[in-house]
Amino acid sequence: MTGSSGIFDDGIPIVADRQNNVDLHYDALTGLPNRALFYESLRKIIKQAEINQRIISVLFLDIDNFRKINETLGHALGDELLRQFSLRLLECLRIRDMTARLGGDDFACILVTPDGSGDAGVVASKIREALRQPFELQGRPISVTASIGISVYPTDSLDADTLVKNGDTAMHRSKKAGRDTYRFFTSEMNARAIKRLDQENALRKALDRNEFVLHYQPKMELSGGRITGVEALIRWNRPGHGSIAPLEFISSLEQTGLINRVGAWVIDSACRQIAAWRDSGIGEIPISVNVSGRQFSQSTLNGDVIRAIQENDVDPEMLEFELQTERALRENSIDYDLLELELTESSLTAHANKTISILRRLKVLGIQISIDDFGTGYSSLVYLKRFPVDVLKIDRSFIMNVTTNPADAAITTAIIDMAHSLDVKVVAEGVETVEQFDFLRMRGCDEIQGYYLAKPLPANEISELLLGGIKLPKPAQSPLV
Ligand code: C2E
Ligand code: MG
Ligand code: MG
């Protein structure tokens, strides 16, 4: 989404009379609000925040080594860099946020958030990420980084001047920390930010250092007790931190855009595992892989791909993911229906039209599509009609109380019945007890997955399990394995 240089409060421009104020209030070089307008707006926004109990974060940015760049390139190109920098900044912000040029290479952004100030760190990360792409100045690629300081209303101060002063202090801490980073003024927020930055930096190296590993959790057919396949779940063996669960790092991968590379690695590893199980005689075991919405909406494209897109009039944002998936299947000579992609409802709806077209194309190849965590988003059975869905996974939160809470039992039963009437298979997630197992079997649920059967396990342990069969903790009414 593209940001705006003017801030709006519930649709009303604070600076209404823009025409007459251009010289006084806007920077001639970048067209952004200038220092005077920045202060004026900040004071007004603070007043509104007092009434609406909003949280304001102010980001102060300083381009690292700008003076040196300016001297080397000459002032005309230095100006051009500032112009392009300001555009890049706007792309990282939302329409409600404000960006100003305070002078020289100093910029500031005002973010208004209804709750928490975590947003400011996310935006700062986004800006760092956006700067990784070099600028092009007269055909020459120029890379710059920025040091960012963040101060927050009301935590750090209640008045504009102190917020600015604190933000400046935080910015200098970023410089001291080695530039190309951000710091909060408040130490507690800073500690969190540093932890996240450390994690991001470690994640950047994790793939090349082979620190990711896939564990697999089996799924079982309720009618015959057969293991129908496994779900691949990523783990990160971070040196000094042990095995880290996906929920602790997937959002960082998404924010930094690393999810595309890691997601491709997951699909590739899963395909290699399918081939390994097949070649060792264990059998053709379908693997389902979790796909993040970001993998569908953002891809880094190389020149060849871009050319192919232009020549064939295909959607550029989708192609990379499709190519990666197709290549992984082809290189391992795998039947396409052995790979299943799990998408959550929210990732399906985020880019609905684009997602539908890519899913249709993948489905034509034979790849299975499932909706994960069903019931937790804006659940709508309309998806089942619009998207080419094969499987629906009922979220663990319903299964957890399915035998004790009549509402969860009713919802689960309704999902099973409706999915079946649309010819969609149902998998219950997070089955832990024999009571849940029996309930689901009685209601005609197709498959289950959960600790009752097995926890996610490394590939070699799954191999043993596939060879030896699963011993259920307490046999259900009729023996299944
Ligand atoms: P999910 O796809 O819904 O996966 C099921 C999660 O529930 C897994 O957590 C699994 O270990 C856990 N689980 C399974 N059975 C039980 C049970 O009986 N009881 C309880 N309490 N938990 C159970 P995990 O491995 O921590 O993964 C969490 C989420 O992280 C996944 O939810 C998925 O959304 C995401 N994820 C995992 N691997 C990947 C990946 O490779 N790529 C992406 N984009 N997301 C991933
Ligand atoms: Mg899943
Ligand atoms: Mg799930």
Residues 102-150: tens digit of each pLDDT: 999 999 999 987 665 567 888 999 999 899 889 999 888 999 999 999 9
Q: Over 90: is that where the pLDDT of 237 sits? A: yes
* Minimal-distance CA residue to ligand 1 atom 25: 233
What is the CA(471)–ligand 1 centre distance, in A?
Answer: 22
Whole-number Å distance, alpha carbon 243 to ligand 1 midpoint, is: 14
Instruction: Compare 290 and 306 and report the one with higher pLDDT.
Output: 290
pLDDT digits (tens, 9 = 90+) for 205-227: 999 999 999 999 999 999 988 99
Considering only CA atoms, give the Rg of the chain.
26
Name the percent of the chain lying above pLDDT 90.
59
Answer whether 12 contacts ligand 1 (Cβ < 6 A).
Answer: no
CA distance 94 to 447: 43
Does 301 score more than 50 pLDDT? no
Whose CA is closest to atom 42 on ligand 1?
Answer: 290
User: How many helices (H) and strands (E) are present in the chain, helices listed first?
Assistant: 19, 19
- Distance, CA 28 to ligand 3 centroid (Å)? 52
Residue 463 has pLDDT above 70, yes or no: yes
CA 167 to chain centroid: 28
pLDDT confidence tier of residue 4, bands split at 50, 70 and 90: very low
Strands, E, within 279-382: which ranges? 287-290, 339-344, 368-374
Band of residue 474 on the pLDDT scale cut at 50, 70, 90: low
Q: What is the mean pLDDT of residues 148-176?
A: 93
CB atoms < 10 A from the CB of 357, how many? 14
Which ligand neighbours the alpha carbon of 260 most closely?
A: 1
- pLDDT category of residue 340 using cuts at 50, 70 and 90: very high
Superfamily of domain 14-197: Reverse transcriptase/Diguanylate cyclase domain (3.30.70.270)
Would you list the domain boundaries of the chain? 14-197, 212-468
For ligand 1, the distance from its centroid to the CA atom of residue 222, given in whole angstroms, is 21
Residue 263's nearest CA partner among 300, 307, 216 is: 300
Residue 431 reports pLDDT greater than 60: yes
Closest residue by Cα to atom 4, ligand 1, is 233
Question: Between residues 178 and 244, which one has the greater pLDDT?
Answer: 244
Contact 120, 153 (CB under 8 A): no
What local confidence, expressed as pLDDT, does residue 24 receive?
86
Q: Find where tokens 């988003």 sit.
A: 377
Residues sharing a CB contact under 8 Å with residue 443, sequence separation 6 or more, in sequence order: 412, 413, 416
Kindly give the pairing relationship between strand 55-63 and strand 227-238.
unpaired
Q: Where are the beta strands (DSSP E) in 187-322?
A: 212-221, 227-238, 242-244, 287-290
Ligand 1 pocket, 438 CB below 6 A? no
Given ligand 1 and candidates 216, 233, 401, which is best to mutate, with the most ligand atoms within 8 Å of its CB?
A: 233
In tens, the pLDDT along 34-91 reads 999 999 999 999 999 988 888 999 999 999 999 999 988 899 999 999 999 999 999 9
Is the pLDDT higher at 222 or at 95? 222
Q: Alpha-carbon distance 110 to 440, whole Å? A: 51
Position 300 confidence tier, pLDDT thresholds 50, 70, 90: very low
Full-model pTM: 0.76
Burial, 329: exposed, middle or buried (Cβ in 10 Å; 0-12, 13-18, 19+)?
buried
Q: Whose CA is nearest to atom 12 of ligand 1?
A: 430
Per CATH, the homologous superfamily of domain 212-468 is EAL domain (3.20.20.450)
Burial of 163 (0-12, 13-18, 19+ CB in 10 A): buried
d(CA 184, CA 174): 9
Is beta strand 227-238 parallel, antiparallel or unpaired with respect to 212-221? antiparallel
Six-digit token string for 292: 């993040």
Query: Do the beta carbons of residue 183 and residue 174 sit within 8 Å?
Result: yes
Report the alpha-carbon distance of residue 324 to residue 341 in Å, rounded.
13
- DSSP single-letter state for residue 192: H
pLDDT for 359 equals: 83
Tell me what pLDDT residue 255 has: 83
What's the gap in Å between 376 CA and the centre of ligand 3?
10
For ligand 1, atom 13: residue with the closest CA? 430
State how far the Cα of 171 lies from the Cα of 107, in Å rounded to an integer: 11
Q: Which of 234, 290, 400, 457 to mutate to test the pocket of ligand 1 (most atoms within 8 A of CB)?
A: 290
Dump pLDDT digits (tens) for 386-402. Answer: 788 999 999 999 999 99
**4 or 203: which leads in pLDDT:** 203
pLDDT at 10: 42
Neighbours of 479 (CB within 10 A): 8
- Report yes or no: 318 and 358 within 8 Å, Cβ to Cβ: yes
Mean pLDDT of the chain: 86
343 in contact with ligand 1, CB cutoff 6 A:
no
Residue 253's pLDDT band (boundaries 50, 70, 90)?
Answer: very high
CA of 233 to the centre of ligand 1 (A): 6
Mean pLDDT of 184-189: 85
Tokens of 364: 């034509």
Percent of the chain beyond pLDDT 70? 86
pLDDT at res. 229 = 96
Query: How much is the pLDDT for 309?
Result: 47
Cβ(250) to ligand 1 under 6 A? yes
Q: 113-127, 264-278, 408-422: lowest mean pLDDT where?
A: 113-127
Report yes or no: 275 and 334 within 8 Å, Cβ to Cβ. yes
C-alpha distances (whole Å) from 449 to each of 45, 229, 233, 393 are: 50, 10, 13, 9
Instruction: Output the CA–CA distances (angstroms, integers) from residue 265 to 201, 270, 306, 352, in the order listed.
Output: 18, 8, 22, 25
